[in-house]
Structures are given as structure tokens and as C-alpha cells.
Amino acid sequence: MHKCIKMVVFTVLVVLSLQQIAFANEETKRPPKPTEGIESSDPNHGSSTDSDNESVQRASGLFYNYYCSIDNTGSDLYLEGSTVANYLSDQVKLTLYLQIWDGSQWIDVQSWPFTQYNSKSVTEGANTSFQHGNYYRTRAVHYIKYGTQTETQNSTSSYIYVD
């Protein structure tokens, strides 16, 4: 009987130690951080307003302001952007791009174009799925047409890691 109890205790200890090893192997190691762009201070939200040179973009000419952002909602990624003109314009455009870091550069994965006519602004968003274990950010192209004048600006959000 005493030998049987020792065997059961030994077996339980072996099983428990193997489970700890199995759980340790399941932990995902975060890939190296991107060498381009700015890391967001908020793990679930990145914005073009995070950097000093792109904070709530304000430009002279046709643009009043512009920005883009990315949010991890837990179930998907939500990208948002805005293009705001100084004047009621013939065309105001916003194109959002989801970018993923491939280990050496940012790659456009998907895009969403939005256009408003006879307007001062366009503010839109899009939901998309993600793969765990990657860095993501939003890139946006902002465009305004006012009579014969056209102007384009670009913005890029800070990046987030999706665990």
C-alpha cells in the first residue's frame, strides 16, 4: 500500500511538471519591434496624433486637418480616418490602408476608399480581421479638390501589437 501511494504521488508530480513545460512552450514570443514608425503608448490604440510632426495634422492651403487611427477591439481591428477641408470642396477623399510589419517593412494588406462630393469633410472607418502575433498600423491618403486646385496629404498611425 505504501509503495502504491508513493507511485501515485510520483506520477502526479511528473504530470504536473510536464504540464508546466507544455504551458511554457505555448507562450508566444513577441517578434522584434518594427524599425520604422512609432510604437503606440496604448496597446490597443494607435493614432497619427501620437507623433509630434503629425499631431492632429494642420496644413495651410486646402487642408484644415487630417488624421488616421487604429484600434484593437478584441474581436477585430477598427481603422478610422478624417480629411477636413478649409472650404466647401468639389471632392474630399480619404483612403485607409491596413499595414502589417513583415519583419523588414510595412506592407499594405487591405484598403478602403471613401469620397464625398460638395463637402468640407469625410470621416470614415472600417472593421477588419487580424492575425495574432503581428504589428499593425493605419496609413491614410487624404485628398481635396477645390476648383482647379488639388492637394494630397499622408498620415500614418503609431503601431500596435496584437497578441
| H helix or E strand, kind and range, residue 53 | none
Distance, CA of 140 to CA of 113 (rounded, Å):
10
Q: What is the DSSP track for 27-96? A: SPPPPPPPSSS-B-SBTTEEEGGGSGGGTTB--STTEEEEEEEEEE-SSSEEEEEEEEEEEEEEEEEEEE
One pLDDT digit (tens) per residue for the chain, 163 residues = 556 565 555 555 555 555 544 444 445 688 999 999 999 999 999 999 986 444 345 566 999 999 999 999 999 999 999 999 999 999 999 999 999 999 999 999 999 999 999 999 999 999 999 999 999 999 999 999 999 999 999 999 999 999 9
Q: Which fold has domain 45-162?
A: Immunoglobulin-like (2.60.40)
d(C-alpha 34, C-alpha 31), whole Å: 9
Q: Whole-prediction pTM value?
A: 0.80
Name which of 110, 114, 104 is nearest 139 in CA terms: 110
